[in-house]
Structure 1
Amino acid sequence: MTASSGAAGFWSYTHRDDESEEGRIRRLATRIANEFEAITAEELHVFLDKEDIKWGDEWRNRIDSALTGSTFFMPIITPRFFKSEECRREVLTFSGHAASLGLDELLLPIMYIDVPGIHKDTVPDEVMALISRRQYEDWTQLRLEDENSPQYRQAVHRLAGRLVEILERAAEVEPPPVTLTEEPDPEEEPGMLELMAEAEAALPRWGETMTEFSETIQVIGDATTEAVAEMERSDSRGAGFAGRLRATHQLAERIKEPVERMEDLGVQYSTELVKIDPGVLGIIRQVETEGAETAESEQAKEFFKTVRELAQNGRRNMESFQEFSDSLQGVSGLSKSMRPLIGKMRGAVQQVMDGQAVIDEWERRIDEVSG
Structure 2
Amino acid sequence: MTTSAGPAGFWSYTHRDDEIEEGRIRRLAQKIANEFEGITADEFDVFIDKKDIRWGDEWRSRIDSALSGSTFFIPIITPRFLKSEECRREILTFVGHAKSLGLEELLLPILYFDVPQLRDSDPSDEVVALVAERQYVDWTKLRLENEDSPDYRKEVNRLAARLVEIIEKTAEVEPPPVTLPDNADADDEPGMLELMADAEMALPGWASVMDNFNEELREIGERVAKANEEMAASDARGGGFAGRLRITQQLSNDLKGPVDRMSQLGNEYSAAVVAVDPGVLGIIRMVEEEGVTDENAEQVRSFFEVVREAGAQNRSMVDSLQEFADSLHGPANLSKSMRPVIKKMRASLQHFMDGKAVWDEWDRRISEVSERLDLS
**Inter-partner Cα distance in structure 2 for 1:27 and 1:338:** 42
What one-letter code is carried by the residue in structure 2 that aligns with 1:327? S
**Structure 1 range deviating more: 241-250 or 347-356:** 241-250
Q: Secondary structure at the match of 1:11?
A: strand
**Structure 1 range deviating more: 214-223 or 149-158:** 214-223
**Inter-partner Cα distance in structure 1 for 2:292 and 2:188:** 25
CA RMSD of aligned residues (A): 1.7
Match of 1:9 in 2: 9
**Inter-partner Cα distance in structure 1 for 2:265 and 2:9:** 35
Please give the residue correspondences for 1:80-95 in structure 2 after superposition, counting only pairs within 5 Å. 80-95=80-95
**Structure 1 range deviating more: 328-337 or 286-295:** 328-337
Cα drift, residue 315 of structure 1: 1.6
1:100 aligns with 2:100: yes
**Inter-partner Cα distance in structure 2 for 1:321 and 1:251:** 20
Match of 2:374 in 1: none
Match of 1:164 in 2: 164
Given the superposition, is the C-alpha separation of residues 185 and 215 from structure 1 closer, same or farther in structure 2, using an over 3 Å criterion?
Answer: closer
Match of 1:38 in 2: 38
Cα drift, residue 3 of structure 1: 5.1
Does structure 2 conserve the Cα–Cα contact (< 8 Å) formed by 1:108 and 1:137? Answer: yes
Does structure 2 conserve the Cα–Cα contact (< 8 Å) formed by 1:318 and 1:353? Answer: yes
Match of 1:191 in 2: 191
Match of 1:246 in 2: 246
Match of 1:231 in 2: 231
Match of 2:370 in 1: 370
**Inter-partner Cα distance in structure 2 for 1:101 and 1:78:** 27
TM-score normalised to structure 1 length: 0.96
Does structure 2 conserve the Cα–Cα contact (< 8 Å) formed by 1:266 and 1:348? Answer: yes
**Inter-partner Cα distance in structure 1 for 2:203 and 2:182:** 17
What one-letter code is carried by the residue in structure 2 that aligns with 1:169? K
Cα drift, residue 231 of structure 1: 1.7
Given the superposition, is the C-alpha separation of residues 318 and 41 from structure 1 closer, same or farther in structure 2, using an over 3 Å criterion?
Answer: same
Does structure 2 conserve the Cα–Cα contact (< 8 Å) formed by 1:3 and 1:45? Answer: no
Q: Secondary structure at the match of 1:63?
A: helix
Please give the residue correspondences for 1:138-157 in structure 2 after superposition, counting only pairs within 5 Å. 138-157=138-157
Cα drift, residue 185 of structure 1: 6.4
Question: What are the ranges of 5 or more consecutive residues in structure 2 without an aligned counterpart?
Answer: 372-376
Given the superposition, is the C-alpha separation of residues 182 and 12 from structure 1 closer, same or farther in structure 2, using an over 3 Å criterion?
Answer: farther
Does structure 1 conserve the Cα–Cα contact (< 8 Å) formed by 2:11 and 2:73? Answer: yes
Cα drift, residue 363 of structure 1: 1.0
Q: Secondary structure at the match of 1:97?
A: helix
Cα drift, residue 69 of structure 1: 2.2
Q: Deviations over 1:93-128 (max 9, x none)?
A: 000000000000000000001112211111011111
Given the superposition, is the C-alpha separation of residues 185 and 148 from structure 1 closer, same or farther in structure 2, using an over 3 Å criterion?
Answer: farther
Q: Secondary structure at the match of 2:333?
A: coil
Cα drift, residue 187 of structure 1: 7.2
Q: Secondary structure at the match of 2:334?
A: coil
**Structure 1 range deviating more: 339-348 or 73-82:** 339-348
**Inter-partner Cα distance in structure 2 for 1:103 and 1:85:** 24
Does structure 2 conserve the Cα–Cα contact (< 8 Å) formed by 1:4 and 1:61? Answer: no
1:176 aligns with 2:172: no
**Inter-partner Cα distance in structure 2 for 1:94 and 1:273:** 14
Q: Deviations over 1:187-227 (max 9, x none)?
A: 72332222211110111221222222223222212211221
Q: Deviations over 1:213-268 (max 9, x none)?
A: 22322221221122123223222322222211111122122222211121111111
Does structure 1 conserve the Cα–Cα contact (< 8 Å) formed by 2:108 and 2:135? Answer: yes
Does structure 2 conserve the Cα–Cα contact (< 8 Å) formed by 1:178 and 1:283? Answer: yes
Cα drift, residue 281 of structure 1: 0.6
**Structure 1 range deviating more: 62-71 or 335-344:** 335-344
Cα drift, residue 137 of structure 1: 0.5
**Structure 1 range deviating more: 180-189 or 81-90:** 180-189
Cα drift, residue 184 of structure 1: 4.3
1:55 aligns with 2:55: yes
Q: Deviations over 1:298-357 (max 9, x none)?
A: 222111110010111222222221122223333223333322211211011000110111
What one-letter code is carried by the residue in structure 2 that aligns with 1:50? K
Does structure 1 conserve the Cα–Cα contact (< 8 Å) formed by 2:186 and 2:194? Answer: no
The alignment covers a number of residue pairs equal to: 370
**Inter-partner Cα distance in structure 2 for 1:108 and 1:123:** 19
TM-score normalised to structure 2 length: 0.94
What one-letter code is carried by the residue in structure 2 that aligns with 1:273? V
Match of 2:65 in 1: 65
1:353 aligns with 2:372: no
Cα drift, residue 88 of structure 1: 0.5
Percent pairwise identity? 64
Given the superposition, is the C-alpha separation of residues 345 and 68 from structure 1 closer, same or farther in structure 2, using an over 3 Å criterion?
Answer: farther
Match of 1:317 in 2: 317
